[in-house]
Structure 1
Amino acid sequence: MEKMYILIFLFIISFIMRIGTPIFTPYAAAFGATSVLIGLILGFTSFSDLTGNLIAGPLVDRFGKKIFITIPLFTSGALFIAHGLASNSKQLFILHGLNGFALAFLIPAAIAMLSGYARNSREQGKNIAINGILTTIAGMVAPFLGGKMADVIGYSNTYFIIGAAILATALFATFLITERQFIITHKKKIMPTITKSNTFFSAPLLTSYLIGFAVMYIHGVVIFEVPYLTVEEGLSPSVTGKLFSFLSLGAFITLFMFFINRYDPLKRLLVGLLGMCLSLYGIFSLSLSLPLMLFLTGIFFGLVMPAMATVVTENVPRENYGKAFGIMSAVYSLGMILSSILTGIIREYISPYFIAFLIGMLVVAIVGYTRLRLNQIMKPKGDFY
């Protein structure tokens, strides 16, 4: 029952947060914010999120997860309401950054708590996959709903509703979510402390960090560029909301392919990133249908995210999940920081999709070459191709 509450909670949070995805950019532009300033706002938000991730990990492991779920939710709800009361872009800059810092504590704690409701890696993968399906469903519906709400009741009132919904969710988490306590025993022959700290930077984790950075850089470009169509082409927020729904629909389809979880997560990461790069190529070079390319991007994005969580849970002790997911979230934030700032600066001169393609393919080449060399080194000398 407790695991079901966690899954419902994560679904609600994802749904509420994604309502705001298509509306922030046009809302900031309505206050006179340029593309560069919007990029700086999103970049600063990701930076504050990164800072919070690094702080959150050790604290979650030490003091428990529930407190770092409920307090950030109450804070975020108040900040979203304040978004609706903002009167200029400077205020949005501050509010959005503070909100990023508050939410930085939420995700590592929630994912670590969900991962704890499993007895083995297969159950962990199943829990992550179920959460992925639920949050992807939210991603299919919420952006479209957010765009429609902005069309009907305006941006400010939409933020009021988002804030109120988050405060209600915080109450739900306070009374219904309980944290499972684990008794961790150690044998007398315990590994040195330095060995434990190195588990966060083992070869599989470093590879996943690098791919995670590239994936979130691509995601950051999409998050910036799609809503900006409301400014450049005068599209309705509901139209950009539909485009985000195509992205989530692709991820939804992949997440339902449970047999994929049987394959090596690092291979899934590499294939997923390569597929996202090829989808970007279809956008900036072949000028293919944007909804179709976003749909394909979502398919490969859905391949990547569960594999990320699996790499963490397979390479880090259970008692260190909070710190591990904090580091992973910080890497995600770093990708979002660079993509948001760089996209806002260069988009008048060169396609941000092209730069994201180059970064993604560079990571594919580095990881592919590294794995190939490693396989050659480990291959017995007497073997031939």
Structure 2
Amino acid sequence: MGNMTLSKTKQKLALFLLLFLIFTSMHMQFPVLTPFAVSLGATSFMIGLMLGATSFVNLGGNLIAGIFIDRAGPRRFIIIPLLLLAVSLALHFFVADVTHLFILRMINGFLLAFLTPACMTLLSSFADNRREQSKNMAVNTLMVTVAMAVAPFIGGKIGEWFGASWTFVAISFVMIAAYFLAGRTIQSNLIIRSYRKEPSYQSLIQLRLFPVYITAFGIMYAQGTLMFELPFLSVETDFSKGDVGILVSMVGAGTLISLALFFIHWISPYVRIFLGLAMMCISFGWILFYTSHIPVAGPLLLFGAGTGIVFPAMMTMLTERIPEEARGRGFALLSAIFSLGTITSPFVAGMVRDFISPYFIAWIVLMIVVMVMGLLEQNGEEGTAPAPVAESLFR
């Protein structure tokens, strides 16, 4: 089937499936990456440095990607990175020392820097109004969540049965499938337009977008802490890789629960963000004070539920507050802030985990974000007087 024969609806459905495959490949790695690095001789500090450096490369790549996506459209920046990622992941099979793994992780981070904002920019083009935009972002979160729920379990089981090297081979095949799907379904003429004045990153640094940015950093710091700490359970305790995969899947299961609450999308994105952040704070407090710093299903489900509330609201707020011609840069900047949170969390966790729980640091970060969001809400979303309760909740 040729590209030009597909309607926008079919392309959108194909994009949702593509996003599922991409995030499946990403989350299959979580249960096996840390044990794999440890088996090569990496220390906890080295692992934190590797994850942080990967995210740093991702951050820089995001800022570069946004410019090219706005100029040339997203198609080539989806298809080419998918092919290169498939090759890079397959090369993990031949890794013999930590240096090789370090290099491959940085290559992966740079390629993902183009792939993620390109997909989100393309997805944002399929909506004609706020309600459609919110629906599309919610379905996107659903695809990511299903991947989070099943992929870690699959990755952990493959790692148990065949070893980490073969897990990366399996992930490579997932990316190959995504490459062929993208090549057959994504058109090249949806985003490219001419504008009298090219947008800039400076135009995206404004107070009305601050709630989106601070939320993005906070949730990725918290999620990065979880994804750094959970795999260590299979190294330091009697947890198996499959057990760790199940725990990571609990986050996805919690997100599915919150996405089932369809009525929540009628509430203001700002209120949803605040509610989701509060749930994440409670989940980390639960881990710290009631489970002896060893995560169990309950707090992970609650964290996932908060994620399912925050992500669609955050994406909707971003698309509402930036012009269409700057969405490539907008999603690239948001991805860069995601990366900043992901850079900081494993680096800090690797440095302090022998002295203080990384979960405590993440809890403090989330509490600060909630406090700042509360101050912003007290002064009104746009820096004006607070709106009436009903108007501020449903708008």
TM-score range, shorter chain: over 0.9
Aligned to 1:224, the other structure's residue is in SS state: helix
Structure 2 equivalent of residue 80 of structure 1: 89
Q: Which of residues 224, 228, 247 in structure 1 aligns to 2:251? A: 247
Indicate the SS of the match to 1:23. helix
Deviation of residue 359 (structure 1)? 1.0
Where does 1:11-22 land on structure 2 (aligned, <5 Å)?
11-22=20-31
Which residue of 353, 371, 375 maps to 1:369? 375
Q: What do you get for the CA RMSD once the two structures are aligned?
A: 2.0
1:93 to 82, 86, 102: 102
Aligned to 1:383: none
Judged with a 3 Å threshold, the aligned counterparts in structure 2 of structure 1 residues 31 and 124 are, in CA distance, closer, same or farther, namely same
The verdict on how the C-alpha distance between 1:73 and 1:25 changes in structure 2, with shifts beyond 3 A counting, is: same
Change (3 A) 1:375 1:157: closer
Compute the displacement of 1:264 (Å).
Answer: 1.4
Q: TM-score scaled by structure 2?
A: 0.90
How far is the alpha carbon of 1:183 from its aligned partner?
8.0
Does the aligned pair in 1 maintain the 2:281–2:363 contact within 8 Å?
yes
Distance verdict in 2 for CA 1:26–1:193, change over 3 Å = closer
Distance 1:185 1:376, change over 3 A: closer
1:152 to 158, 161, 165: 161
Aligned to 2:217: 213
Are the counterparts in 1 of residues 133 and 316 from structure 2 also a CA contact under 8 Å? yes
In the TM superposition, residue 286 of structure 1 has moved relative to its aligned partner by 2.0
Match of 2:229 among 225, 228, 234: 225
2:62 counterpart residue number: 53
Q: Which moved more, 1:355-364 or 1:281-290?
A: 281-290
Q: Indicate which of 126, 137, 143 corresponds to 1:134.
A: 143
Given that 2:48 and 2:346 are in contact with CA atoms closer than 8 Å, whether structure 1 keeps it comes out as yes
Deviations 1:70-126 (A, max 9, x none): 111111111111112100111111111110111110010001101101111211111
Give CA-to-partner distance per residue, 1:211-264, whole Å, 9 cap, x none.
110110000000001111111114211100000111100001111222111111
* Map of 1:171 onto structure 2: 180
Could you tell me whether the CA contact under 8 Å between 1:26 and 1:227 is conserved in 2?
yes
Shift of 1:376: 11
CA distance in 2 between counterparts of 1:273 and 1:166 reads 32
Q: Structure 2: which amino acid aligns with 1:84?
A: F
Q: Give me the whole-angstrom Cα distance separating, in 1, the residues matched to 2:167 and 2:192.
A: 44
Q: Name the SS for the 1:356 alignment partner.
A: helix
Residue 307 (structure 1) aligns with: 313
Unaligned runs of 5+ in 2: 1-9, 387-395
Q: Which residue of 1 aligns with 2:299?
A: 293
Q: What is the letter of the counterpart of residue 272 of structure 1?
A: G
Structure 2 residue aligned with 1:26: 35
The farther-off stretch of 61-70 and 370-379 is 370-379
**Given the alignment, which residue of 258, 262, 265 partners 2:266?**
262
1 CA distance for matches of 2:108 and 2:333? 19
Please give the per-residue CA displacement for 1:10-35, whole angstroms capped at 9, x wherever unaligned: 11211222111211011101111111
Moved more, 26-35 or 7-16: 7-16
Distance 1:202 1:356, change over 3 A: same
- Contact 2:379/2:385, CA 8 A, preserved across alignment: no
Between stretches 246-255 and 364-373, larger displacement belongs to 364-373
Q: 1:185 to 1:83 in 2, by over 3 A?
A: closer
Q: Secondary structure at the match of 2:290?
A: coil
Q: Is the 8 A contact 1:115 1:124 kept in 2?
A: yes
Judge conservation of contact 2:122–2:191 (CA < 8 Å) in 1: no
**Contact 2:29/2:155 (<8 A) preserved:** yes
Aligned to 1:282: 286
- Cα 1:151–1:368 shift into 2, 3 Å: same
Q: Which amino acid aligns with 2:142?
A: I
Q: Distance in 2 between matches of 1:165 and 1:369?
A: 44
**8 Å Cα contact 1:13/1:166 also seen in 2:** yes
TM-score, scaled relative to structure 1: 0.92
Q: Does the 8 A contact of 1:113 with 1:179 survive in 2? A: no
Q: Distance in 1 between matches of 2:383 and 2:122?
A: 38
Deviation at 1:171, TM superposition (A): 2.0
Runs of 4+ in 1 over 3 A off after TM superposition: 182-186, 196-199, 373-380
Name the CA shift for 1:121/1:25 in 2 (closer, same or farther; >3 Å). same
In structure 1, runs of 5+ residues without a counterpart are 381-385
Candidates 337, 341, 345, aligned match of 1:335: 341
Confirm or deny: 8 A CA contact 1:199 1:315 kept in the other structure.
no
Q: How many residues align?
A: 375
Question: Residue 117 of structure 1 contacts residue 180 of structure 1 at CA under 8 Å; is this kept in 2?
Answer: no
Which sits farther off after the overlay, 216-225 or 257-266?
257-266
- 8 Å CA contact retained: 1:204, 1:311: no
CA deviation vs aligned residue, 1:326-359 (integer Å, no higher than 9, x gap): 0000001000100010001100100000011111
- C-alpha change, 1:161 and 1:197, in structure 2 (3 Å) is closer
What CA distance in whole angstroms lies between the structure 2 residues aligned with 1:298 and 1:330?
Answer: 22
Query: Structure 1 CA distance, aligned partners of 2:88 and 2:208?
Result: 37
Paired AA for residue 20 in structure 1: Q
Structure-2 residue corresponding to 1:360: 366
